[in-house]
Structure 1
Amino acid sequence: MVIDRAAERLRSQLVSGELLPGQRLSEVALSAGLGISRNSLREVFRLLTKEGLLRHLPNRGVFVAVPSMASIIDIYRVRRMVECQALAQAIAQHPARQAMREAVADQRRLAQAGRWQEVGTANMRFHQGVVALADSERLNALFDHLLVELRLAFGMLHDAEFLHAPYVEMNAAIFERFEAGDMARAAELMREYLTHSERAVLSAHARHMGEAGATSAAASAGRRSLSKK
């Protein structure tokens, strides 16, 4: 279906970081880029707004959603339940290990080249591989949606190297313990990883909201000044 395909392409743009939290979306540009009518694009907007990925503001337009602090905390709560448990109960011979191995190698290669946005994408592939260890299509689908929301949270931190660099070797250490059959340690390292990552994202959220508040206050002050003239 046209709308489903267009919605998936827009989700991919959110995951890749092409669209950033708070960004206003242009109907003209997106309908041309996706090759669909503006009426179909509005259906896509409605679908992704229902999923919490976009936000419609009356008389202003459609914007990429800015994740709330509560949603970030909830995302990491779910990640701990899913990823740590998937590792704890995994077997080292699981087919998902190949995807995990390739993601670790890609992260290291891309980090050496300074391609930090792509390091983040490879990082997500690693964690998709971890979830695949659970052999649950429902969990895979749930996690794919969580990753879109998570990438929106990542988008609030503008220094991609600062955001992704610490996790290259963390993922490698988790994978090393997984391949060695030490699932308890792999799950423990994953929990440490998620705690570290959650703190970084919540700090970015606090800074983002502080900057947005300062900008809004400055704009309001400017309008009041003009109204007095």
Structure 2
Amino acid sequence: MAAEVDPTGLFSDRALLGRSSTADRVADILRARIAEGYLPPGSKLSEDAIGSALGISRNTLREAFRLLTHERLLVHELNRGVFVRVLTVQDVIDIYQVRRLIECAAVRNLGMPPYDLSNAEAAVAEGEKAAKEGDWRELGSANIHFHGAIVALAHSTRLDDLMRGVLAELRLVFHGMENSRAFHEPYLARNRDILAALKAADTVNAELLLASYLNDAEKQLVKRHSEAIAAEPTPSL
């Protein structure tokens, strides 16, 4: 049975709620916590602990849980509670299909330069700092920030909202790779290459690099998830 999550850090997020504590804002906070790796797959979410940390009602929190369940980030188990979802191999395949459709199209349809690449540059710098410090979980976060910045170049709030959910699911895909230098570090170099192509306004090459990146990452993560499932003990009859 998964241990309850200690929502350390949520107290500091209370200020984000403002005076009108809405379920949407609570969902935004919890989604961000999942995307940053603080709430791993299988974690049980305590209504009392989270509600107290954020200073919100039980009904507001339950509505936020419902929203995130609809986004496939949480799952409600009868008589057990609410848990961060554990993804399947098919989930990984589907997430990368969606990423290719969104990210590659965003690059393909950038239009005429110049492009505001400041957020993408900041994400690469964030990744370089994390790599230098050997913080591979933070490097994973920087990678997520980079790809969010790529989609943001499309200047579409709807795409940004969709991508936030996809990238939160991606963090669940990364589970088991959190401390893996061998997995995360090579993709930092590939982010640099994509950024360089965009700086040169070579969107054709940027899209090719991005598509190759996503294909390779999908293969690695599908393999890792398949091996993890195969290693699980077979239930006794």
Partner of 2:121: 101
Partner of 2:60: 40
Amino acid at match of 1:27: E
Partner of 1:152: 172
Rounded Cα–Cα distance in structure 2 between residues aligned with 1:59 and 1:210 = 28
Cα distance, 1:57–1:158 mapped onto 2, change above 3 Å? same
TM (normalized to structure 2)? 0.83
- After superposition, the CA RMSD in angstroms is 1.9
Q: Which residue among 20, 23, 28 is the counterpart of 2:40?
A: 20
Rounded Cα–Cα distance in structure 1 between residues aligned with 2:76 and 2:91 = 18
Give unmatched runs, 5+ long, in structure 1: 222-229
Return the offset for 1:82.
Answer: 1.9
Rounded Cα–Cα distance in structure 2 between residues aligned with 1:6 and 1:86 = 29
Q: Which residue among 85, 91, 95 is the counterpart of 1:71?
A: 91
3-state SS, counterpart of residue 124 of structure 1? helix
* 2:114 and 2:201 in contact (8 A); partners too: no
Cα distance, 1:98–1:63 mapped onto 2, change above 3 Å? same
* 1:92 and 1:180 in contact (8 A); partners too: no
3-state SS, counterpart of residue 44 of structure 1? helix
Return the offset for 1:89.
Answer: 3.1
Partner of 1:163: 183
Partner of 1:62: 82
What CA deviation, in whole Å up to 9, does each residue of 1:141-160 have, x standing for no partner?
A: 11111111111111243434
Q: How does 1:1-229 map to 2 (within 5 A)?
A: 1-2=20-21, 3-90=23-110, 91-95=112-116, 97-211=117-231, 213-214=232-233, 217=235
Identity %: 41
Greater helix share, structure number: 1
Rounded Cα–Cα distance in structure 2 between residues aligned with 1:7 and 1:181 = 37
What CA deviation, in whole Å up to 9, does each residue of 1:195-216 have, x standing for no partner?
A: 11111221232233334x31x6
What CA deviation, in whole Å up to 9, does each residue of 1:31-81 have, x standing for no partner?
A: 222222333322222221122111111122211111222222122112112
TM (normalized to structure 1)? 0.86
